Amino acid sequence: MTVLEAADVTFRYPDGTQALTEVSVGVERGEIVAVLGPSGAGKSTLFKCFAGLERPSGGAVTVEGVELGALHGKERRLAQHRIGLVFQEFHLVGRATVLSNVLVGRLATANPVTSLVHWMSRRDRTLAVELLTRVGLGDQVRKRADSLSGGQRQRVALARALSQRPELLLADEPVANLDPVLAAGVIDDIVRMVREEGLTAVLNLHDVSLARRVAQRIVGMREGRIVFDLPVEDVTDALLAGLYANEDVAANAAHREEVAA
């Protein structure tokens, strides 16, 4: 069954920059898909469209048959609650404890009044501590998030996303801010947790070896289009070389600047 479906998704930023052109991709339940491509390929824009953070200019993104962009209010919040997100820069509340950062993932279904004074049910707290223990942060629960290392922070962010009990986990360059050794450890943890929870995952990566190691399928993107979409064993070095090739360095740099702007 298809969990995530993008049909002819086109995305244009308000300044006219075309970030995505007719991108179509489907992700089956339980699949782990890596999206690869050079900077400026449109991976982050695609992530935002998948997550419902941006609405495509053309085409449609559906998660379990529901178009997130068309929802409003409570329906939209509950739909968003079923998608866990992990960001490149962690996006944690630095001054809050590790535990309260993870509990943020439970707010959508918590009591709207008592949760305002940080009162969360025992079930929610147990789940948060259990997830933190499973990502190896069991003894850091009461520490401030900004006292942790980069790898630990991303694990807190992962636990926050998983505490939503999502169907789908989306990660946008989750290890781009970490050194290679830490990066491999964090990616392995993400994939292990995704498998244990039986989730579907789409990971934006720029590191080819990491993508090959953890993904079942690789989607190659370049200049806002999908170049290939293949099972990991069919992704050849030649295909990857083509993905990252700079046959026209100047045009590529100009394009990159456009997208960054």
Residue from 110, 184, 232, 239 in contact with other proteins (CB under 8 A): 110
Does the protein bind other proteins through residue 85 (CB under 8 A)? yes
Does position 66 interact with other proteins (CB under 8 A)? The reply is no
Query: Nearest distance from residue 153's CB to other proteins, in Å?
Result: 11
Give the pair of three-digit tokens for residue 148: 């942790």
- The residue among 106 and 217 lying less far from other proteins, judged by its C-beta, is 106
At residue 54, the 3 state secondary structure works out as: coil
**Contact between 141 and other proteins per CB under 8 A:** no
Q: How far apart are CA 103 and CA 211, in angstroms?
A: 30
Q: How many residues bind other proteins (CB under 8 A)?
A: 36
H helices of the chain, in order, are 43-51, 73-81, 98-103, 122-134, 150-163, 180-197, 208-214, 237-244, 249-260
Q: Residue-wise over 139-172: b if at least 16 C-beta within 10 A, else e? A: ebbeebbeebebbbbbbbbbbbbbbbebbbbbbb
- Partners of residue 33 on adjacent β-strands: 202, 217
- Our CB check for other proteins shows the closer of 190 and 226 to be 190
Answer whether 226's CB lies under 8 Å from 23's CB. yes
Q: Is 153 in the site for other proteins (CB under 8 A)?
A: no
Minimum Å distance from CB 180 to other proteins? Answer: 24
Q: 9, 33, 34, 51: which one contacts other proteins (CB under 8 A)?
A: 51
For position 112 contacting other proteins by CB under 8 A, the verdict is yes
Q: Determine if 160 is a binding residue for other proteins (CB under 8 A).
A: yes
With residues binned 3-state (H G I as helix, E B as strand, rest as coil), the percentages for the chain, rounded to 5, are 45, 25, 30
Our CB check for other proteins shows the closer of 100 and 217 to be: 100
107: helix, coil or strand? helix
The residue range among 37-45, 75-83, 178-186, 251-259 that interacts with other proteins, by the rule CB under 8 A, is: 75-83
Q: Is 204 in the site for other proteins (CB under 8 A)?
A: no
**Could you identify the residue written with the tokens 């449609």?**
60
Chain residues binding other proteins by CB under 8 A are 51-53, 77-81, 83-85, 87, 89, 91-96, 100, 103-105, 107-110, 112, 115-118, 157, 160-161, 164
